[in-house]
Amino acid sequence: MISKKVVLIDGHSILNRAFYGVPILTNSEGLHTNGIYGFLNIMFKAIEEEKAETLIVAFDLKAPTFRHKMYGAYKGTRKPMPQELHEQVPVLKEVLQAMEIPIVTKEGYEADDILGSLSRIYEEQGCDVTVISGDRDLLQLATEKVKISIPKTKAGGTQVENYYAEDVLKTYQVTPTQFIDLKALMGDASDNIPGVPGIGEKTATKIITAYGSIEEAHAHVDDIKPARAANNLREHYDMAVMSKKLAAIDTHAPIEIPDTSAGLENMYSQSAYQMMKRLEFKNILNRFDQENVAVPVLSAAVELTDRNEQQQKIFEAMSRPMFSAYPICEDGLWGLVMAYDDKCFWMPTKSADDLNGMAGWFDGHPDMAVMDLKERLHYFPLKESDNVLDISLMAYLLNPLKDSYDYDDIARDYLGMTLPSRADLYGKKKLSEIFSEDRTKALTWLGYYASLPLKAAPELRAALEKENMWELYREIELPLSFSLYRMEIAGIRVEREALREYGDHLVGRIQELEQEIYALAGEEFNILSPKQLGTILFEKLHLPYGKKTKTGYSTSASVLEKLQDEKPIARLVLEYRQLTKLKSTYADGLANFISEDERIHGKFHQTITATGRISSTEPNLQNIPVRVELGRRIRKVFVPKDGCVFVDADYSQIELRVLAHMSGDENLIEAYKQAEDIHRMTASQVFHTPLEEVTSQQRSNAKAVNFGIIYGISSFGLSQGLSITRKEAEVYIKQYFAAYPKIKDFLDGLVAEGKEKGSVYTLFHRKRPIPELFSSNFMQRSFGERVAMNSPIQGTAADIIKIAMIHVDRRLREEGLKSRLVLQIHDELLIEAAMDEVETVKQILHDEMSHAAKLKVPLEIDINTGTDWYEAK
């Protein structure tokens, strides 16, 4: 007989584990989904590992309460489910139903009893059973054929502990059945099992291993040591017997076995797909077979190959109040999808150049809906216009926390439509492959690219207007897309040969360090492996370990720095890390991005950050080393093209100035009007010391406090930043707020506003939603509070430099200059300036940056020039 594989899941227990193991996650409806997400991942993992043929989930009928951590000497108490978890229970059941996974409940019985009874029945039928639960009480069900599987929620990667009967014996020195006796002696406050007073885990284990059961133990009660335990057992034996009844799981509950004849065949059904879409579990959607995905037709594209016909349709579109367009450009497939009224056309072209040429037909166009404007401009160079409605950019402004703003995301969030994503449709195939396989299908899908933007753009515009953010879109974000596009086109020149020499220079020193470290360690190992390094440092060499991470010892710079004065190996490892970082990320990393034109054309992203900043990738040009001299030298390989120099301009402490303005604190405003050194001034005011007498220690402490304020002050954070105690940090904060009372009011006000509105805002109405503020988890809520304090400041600074960029870029072009913006690094702009334009460029940078916003304090700019970036900064 082939034994069937059965998996039984303790529904509430696993949901609870998942809820606390997976960080906050909500879908667009605001429904919390982290527990369900974690549950499904544990479930899928179990199905795969156990090769399950039958799967059943058991639930209690009453919403259970859950154990929480032990506090001091007291037993854990049970807390009711927080709302964020409670709301997930019915949804999880819906998901399971949609997947046709049987759910079993029984009036008057707990999930434990259902699991116990089912596992007994299946075992009797000769099946291999796995019971999955977070609750160790279930270990009493383990046998030779019944495995108890307890997932350990190690953030992200869930590991499982598996127990057959023999494993229980090995780990706990008692058999599964004796587990009941053990609990009967120990008791369990959270389960209302009284147990025997005065007998805890240690004594209970001793007694049960010796006598096998409470009955046997009672029969030999006179032999039990210590005498105290014996007396207790004698006196409270009836209590122990009663406890045993309570602790025992009923394996003979009157449970009807659900119909599992269909097995797991129907797990990936259409209705399950719809549920996963609704919950926005993109990872899980990948498991669904693409062939089975229903494809709603929004407006399939009609193919138009004739160039004249194409042009005619475009002219027709130009006469409408709004149309949409989306260029396609991949290997061997070029063309434009466009839509207007309820029509949609696919206009293939013979080459990328032909597609490029079509852009001219759109000059002076009416409202034009698109997606990912900046990216599209590379294939379809539209003239800059304020009539473009980039639905991705608009959706980003309405909710900057999303990780994607593709048509399906927008269809779901703003039109309540469920559309298949590109990944759902193509999988790993290219559009051109789909075209040759099934033309109709390809045209249906292409329709989404143009039809959806056309439908969604008015909705998004209305939403922006309602939230007072239309101006932010029109005046800042949209023009910025064009500026960023031009910056990507411009790129920055990098001397390939000099970069290689820099890397070679590092290699020599890296090899020396490597040998020195091996010598001190007494063996060769991979220094870059935190695991191996931790073992060497903290186990072999017995260095005192500071922190621990989830997986082992922390070997982070902050730990090694504390050791480096005493232990040379720590200093060497730090230097080794520094150099290998420079070599791999910068010397080698950047080299991979140098194009034929000797320049690096990185990407600047406008829809990534939660605060409104720009981000940079492929490569990241916003984190080129500067703080340490050796790293800083890499900037010498960034050079302007012949006939140009670099002009670099950065704001001086823009975030603190924004804080001064937004809080309206007269003391800080006055400080900025007077002092050239704001950290010194802060030190003077916070420590009540005359400006001239401020020590460098005081100044650097004040600087750390200023940073802390911007990050959303907490005594712990400041104590870390300054390497002082929390108490001392608290004193600093108190003194700071005494010196600048309005700042305290302002920051408190931001948190209050966040809690009231669910979002905080910048000076230019940029919105940052903060769902964490409503978390029942202290840590997440505190994070939300720090975010509420930081985002308006960081975001307003981001707004200001965006305005400056747009104005600088506009003037460079309108004044017919050859100089070009090449980089933005949050508070810094780098221009490749023609030699004869340097003075003009400096003037433009100074004027446009200092006047980008009118604040209650001046915006100060530092400007430098140089023949490389090292020199210009």
Residues 624-653 that bind DNA (CB under 7 A): 624-628, 631-632, 650
Residue 25 CB, nearest distance to DNA (Å)?
Answer: 12
- In the complex with DNA, the residue whose CB is nearer, 404 or 720, is 720
The residue among 379 and 707 lying less far from DNA, judged by its C-beta, is 707
* Sites for DNA among residues 491-550 (CB under 7 A): 526, 528-532, 549-550
425 CB-contact burial (10 Å; exposed 0-12 / middle 13-18 / buried 19+)? buried
> Is 198 one of the binding residues for DNA (CB under 7 A)?
no
Q: Considering only residues 562-601, where is the footprint of DNA by CB under 7 A? A: 574, 577-578, 580-582, 584-585, 588-589, 592
d(CA 332, CA 432): 7
CB closer to DNA, 148 vs 787: 787
Which residue, 77 or 356, has its beta carbon nearer to DNA?
A: 77
**Among the listed residues 402, 405, 399, 382, the one whose alpha carbon sits nearest the alpha carbon of residue 479:** 382
Helix H or strand E encompassing 621:
none
- Between 57 and 788, CB nearer to DNA: 788
Q: Which residues from 206-265 bind DNA, rule CB under 7 A?
A: none
CA angle 334, 340, 342 (to 5 degrees): 110
Q: How far is the CB of 654 from DNA (least distance, A)?
A: 8
Q: How far is the CB of 418 from DNA (least distance, A)?
A: 23
At its nearest, how many Å lie between DNA and the CB of residue 794? 6
Residue of 235, 566, 618, 836 that binds DNA (CB under 7 A): 618
Q: How far apart are CA 308 and CA 310, in angstroms?
A: 5
**Of residues 626 and 817, the one with the C-beta less far from DNA:** 626
Q: By CB under 7 A, name the one of 34, 555, 606, 762 that touches DNA.
A: 555
| Residue whose C-alpha is closest to residue 407's, from 440, 439, 454 | 454
- Options 392, 616, 796, 865; binder of DNA; rule CB under 7 A: 616
Nearer to DNA, 347 or 494 (CB): 494
Strands 128-132 and 5-10: parallel
Write down the least CB distance from residue 270 to DNA, Å.
25
Q: Compute the least distance from the CB of residue 212 to DNA, in Å.
A: 37
Query: Among residues 505, 823, 493, which one has the least CA distance to residue 637?
Result: 493
Choice between 404 and 840, CB closer to DNA: 404
The terminus-to-terminus CA distance of the chain in angstroms comes to 77
User: Is 351 or 592 the residue whose CB approaches DNA more closely?
Assistant: 592
User: How many chain residues are in contact with DNA, going by CB under 7 A?
Assistant: 81
Cβ–Cβ under 8 Å, residues 653 and 828 = no
By CB neighbour count within 10 A (0-12 exposed, 13-18 middle, 19+ buried), where does 608 fall? middle
Contact track, DNA, 337-366, x by CB under 7 A: ------------------------------
Torsion of the alpha carbons at 271, 275, 277 and 280, rounded to the nearest 10? -160
Contacts (CB under 7 A) with DNA, residues 706-735: 707-708, 711-714, 716-718, 720-722
Subset of 372-401 contacting DNA (CB under 7 A)? none
- Shortest distance, position 842 Cβ to DNA, whole Å: 20
Shortest spacing between CB 556 and DNA, in angstroms: 4
> From CA 830, how far away is CA 865, in angstroms rounded?
10
Residue number with CB closer to DNA (490 or 626): 626
Q: How far is the CB of 629 from DNA (least distance, A)?
A: 10
Question: Can residue 827 be called a binding residue for DNA (CB under 7 A)?
Answer: yes
Which residues, 6+ apart, have CB-to-CB distance to 467 below 8 Å? 398, 765, 767
Q: Tell me the CA distances in angstroms from 815 to 740, 831, 848, 850, one per residue in order.
A: 44, 15, 14, 19
**Window 257-296: residues binding DNA (CB under 7 A):** none
554 binding DNA? (CB under 7 A): yes
Nearer to DNA, 198 or 552 (CB): 552
Judged by CB under 7 A, the residue of 65, 269, 271, 782 near DNA is: 782
Q: Which of 62/627 has CB closer to DNA?
A: 627
Of residues 578 and 685, the one with the C-beta less far from DNA: 578
Give the nearest distance from C-beta 583 to DNA in angstroms: 8
Q: Which two tokens stand for residue 771?
A: 């769902």
Q: Using CA atoms, how far apart are residues 604 and 375, in angstroms rounded to an integer?
A: 10
CB burial string 434-462: b at 16+ within 10 A, e below:
bbeeeeeebbbbbbbbbbbbbbbbebbbe
Shortest CB 503 distance to DNA, Å: 11
Q: Contacting DNA (CB under 7 A), which of 32, 376, 599, 613?
A: 613
- What kind and span of H or E run contains 145? none
Nearest to 573 by CA among 522, 537, 626, 627: 537
Residue 602 host element (H or E): none
Which of these ranges, 81-89, 447-455, 738-746, 819-827, lies near DNA under the rule CB under 7 A? 819-827
**Which one of residues 140, 682, 762, 791 is an interface residue with DNA (CB under 7 A)?**
791
Measured from the CB of residue 855, what is the shortest distance to DNA in angstroms?
17
- Per DSSP, the residues of 689-748 read --GGG--HHHHHHHHHHHHHHHH---HHHHHHHHT--HHHHHHHHHHHHHH-HHHHHHHH
Say which residues have a Cβ less than 8 Å from residue 766's Cβ, sequence separation at least 6: 397, 400, 469, 472, 612, 795, 796, 798, 799
* Residue 776 in the binding site for DNA (CB under 7 A): no
CA distances from 674 to 677, 852, 856 (A): 9, 21, 13
Site for DNA in 117-156 (CB under 7 A): 154-156
CA distance 795 to 662: 12
Considering the complex, state which of residue 257 and residue 626 has its C-beta at the smaller distance from DNA. 626
What's the closest the beta carbon of residue 600 comes to DNA, in angstroms?
A: 11
Burial track 224-253 (b if 16+ CB lie within 10 A, e otherwise): beeeebbebbeebbebbeebbebbbbbbeb
CB of 580 to DNA, least distance (A): 7
Does residue 704 belong to the site contacting DNA (CB under 7 A)? yes
- Rounded to whole angstroms, what are the CA distances from 550 to 92, 188, 308, 323, 547? 29, 29, 64, 53, 10
- Is residue 551 at the binding interface for DNA, with CB under 7 A as the rule? yes
Residues 22-81 that bind DNA (CB under 7 A): 69, 71
Query: 94 and 87 in contact (C-beta within 8 Å)?
Result: no
783 interacts with DNA by CB under 7 A = yes
Task: Rank residues 224 and 739 by Cβ distance to DNA and give the closer one.
Answer: 739
Q: Which of 311/399 has CB closer to DNA?
A: 399
- Starting from the edge strand earliest in sequence, which strands make up the sheet with 146-153, in order? 103-104, 54-58, 5-10, 128-132, 146-153, 158-163
**Is 766 near DNA (CB under 7 A)?**
no
Q: Which of residues 293 and 574 has its CB atom nearest to DNA in the complex? A: 574
CB of 614 to DNA, least distance (A): 9
| Contact yes or no for 432/330 (Cβ under 8 A) | yes
The string of DSSP codes covering 87-131 is THHHHHHHHHHHTT--EE--TT--HHHHHHHHHHHHHHTT-EEEE
816, with CB counted inside 10 A (0-12, 13-18, 19+), is: exposed
Q: Which of 335, 453, 619, 769 binds DNA (CB under 7 A)?
A: 619
Kindly state the smallest distance separating residue 393's Cβ from DNA, in Å: 16
Give the range of 42-50, 182-190, 297-305, 554-562 binding DNA by CB under 7 A. Answer: 554-562
CB of 609 to DNA, least distance (A): 4
CB-nearer residue toward DNA: 539 or 836: 539
Q: Is 780 in the site for DNA (CB under 7 A)?
A: no
> Measured in whole angstroms, how far is the alpha carbon of residue 704 from the centre of its chain?
27
